[in-house]
Amino acid sequence: MKLTPEEQDMLDGKYGKSTQKAIEILVALGTIYSAERLIPVTSVQVAGVSYANLGEAGLHFLAEMADGGGKARVLTTLNPAGMDIENWQALGISEAFAESQKRVLEAFARMNVITTCSCTPYLFGNTPHYGEHIAWAESSAVCYANSVLGARTNREGGPSALAAALTGSTPEYGYHLDENRKPFVTVEVNGRLVENHDFGALGKVIGQKLEAEGKKVVPYIRGVEKASVENLKSFCASIATYGGTALFHLEGITPEAAQMTPPEKTITVAQEEIDEANRSMNDATSEEVDFVSLGCPHLSIKEIARIAELLKGKKVTKEFWITTARPTKTIADMMGYSQIIEESGAKFATDTCCVVAPIKGRFKALATDSAKACYYAYAKNEFKTVLKPFDEVVEEALK
Ligand code: F3S
């Protein structure tokens, strides 16, 4: 790889040990993927934040990088942690876990990383513009950034995203290059798509069809007439989880789609397949549900407003987690939604989510509108699931 004099100085250790380690990671990655150079990035999202996933080894790596003097050179935010940083006791998180999780966040803070923990950084200011090169981890956010915002990122891992933050750069390969952003297959959708869980089911169907193509392919999708921000975040999370998809073009909706020619090779999706995907994520009955969670990916303020409207003057009968980013929660506080929600007995699980929090064994069945949450409930063998429209999930908590 060709390095600039500044990058060479980083590699020679002139910017300290952590920056040296960071650029070593990026050069190794670039060499594997035949990148010719590093390119500047404007934004980073780091995953691997929950102590439940990191363990002591991960925490040790982060502490070492912080001790080595590494500082983020660009706007860098974090994925959800394993607990609500303020409200962890109310969520039943142990003292020992909380201690370790705080040490993780402290290491990031020492590196000037913004310790706002969320998988929807694009909803509160880490919002790259069309064509910007960025380095994001978190599969749902990567898919949203590439497809909906038109920014350019590969699916980074935790260490490579942190390395990009400390150097302000990433190797130029994959989705940073025009040729890799072209669609490979057209997907014709014939279905009725209204709710987040419909988009989640569609993501599962398309994702699994693309997986069957044998490699990670960019689809050009037709037949979806409209989609809200909330629908799109649900779709991104699902197609990224079930198909490993990092970029799609949605005709008439996403920004690069207009520049692309739909490929001749076509696969179709029928309503029955979407219905079947929905059914496949319902293996529990309403009576079995003892845990309700909305906010995978993290809730927008519009969704929180709707929850408050549905819960006003009522009491929940089950553990109900409202998972969102802290800046969104702050807005909800100011708009009076948080008070209504908390008076109902529902709990904010800010900074975290039902997948990364250490809750295995506590609940039998989860009610959600998220296909991604269902995937992890099965993959981690944590609970059975009921997948429903947003409003009906809230009703589950009131039954
Ligand atoms: Fe976000 Fe957790 Fe879902 S990280 S996409 S809320 S699994």
Q: Which of 78, 116, 119, 326 has most ligand 1 atoms within 8 Å of CB, for mutation?
A: 119
Which pLDDT score is estimated for 212?
A: 85
Tokens 């209204």 correspond to what residue?
194
Which pLDDT score is estimated for 217?
A: 87
Ligand 1, CB within 6 Å, residue ranges: 79-80, 119, 140, 237, 296-298, 323, 353, 355-356, 372-373
Q: What is the mean pLDDT of residues 231-239?
A: 98
Q: pLDDT tens for residues 243-260?
A: 999 999 999 999 999 999
392 alpha carbon – ligand 1 mean position (Å): 20
Task: List, in order, residues 6 or more apart from 354 with CB less than 8 Å away.
Answer: 291, 293, 296, 321, 323, 366, 368, 373
Mean pLDDT (the chain, rounded): 97
Q: What is the mean pLDDT of residues 268-293?
A: 97
pLDDT(216) > 80: no
End-to-end CA distance of the chain: 60
179 alpha carbon – ligand 1 mean position (Å): 30
- CA-CA distance, 168 to 15, in Å (whole number)? 13
Q: pLDDT tens for residues 363-385?
A: 999 999 999 999 999 998 889 99
Q: What is the mean pLDDT of residues 273-281?
A: 97
pLDDT(176) > 70: yes
Burial call 32-52: b when 16+ CB within 10 Å, e when fewer: eeebeebbebebbbbbbbbbb
Given strand 43-46, what is the order of strands in its sheet?
75-78, 43-46, 135-136
pLDDT(136) > 70: yes
For the chain, strand residue ranges (E) read: 38-40, 43-46, 75-78, 135-136, 169-171, 185-190, 219-222, 249-250, 266-270, 291-294, 319-324, 347-350, 365-368, 384-387
What residue's CA is closest to ligand 1, atom 7? Answer: 355
Cβ 112 vs Cβ 123: under 8 Å: no
- CA-CA distance, 196 to 370, in Å (whole number)? 7
- Which ligand 1 atom minimizes the distance to the CA of 119? 1
For strand 169-171 and strand 38-40, is the pairing parallel, antiparallel, or unpaired?
A: antiparallel
Which pLDDT score is estimated for 215?
A: 67
CA gyration radius, the chain: 21
Q: Which of 143, 234, 296, 328 has most ligand 1 atoms within 8 Å of CB, for mutation?
A: 296
Q: pLDDT tens for residues 319-353?
A: 999 999 999 999 999 999 999 999 999 999 999 99
Q: What is the DSSP letter of 73?
A: S
Q: pLDDT tens for residues 5-20?
A: 999 999 999 999 999 9
Cβ 116 vs Cβ 326: under 8 Å: yes
Cβ 189 vs Cβ 221: under 8 Å: yes
Q: Which of 355, 369, 376, 378 has most ligand 1 atoms within 8 Å of CB, for mutation?
A: 355
What residue's CA is closest to ligand 1, atom 6? Answer: 296
Cβ 165 vs Cβ 113: under 8 Å: yes
- Which ligand 1 atom minimizes the distance to the CA of 355? 7
Q: At 68, is the secondary structure helix, strand, or coil?
A: coil
Tokens for 89? 């006791």
Cβ 270 vs Cβ 240: under 8 Å: no
pTM: 0.97
- CA-CA distance, 375 to 47, in Å (whole number)? 18
Q: What is the mean pLDDT of residues 55-77?
A: 97
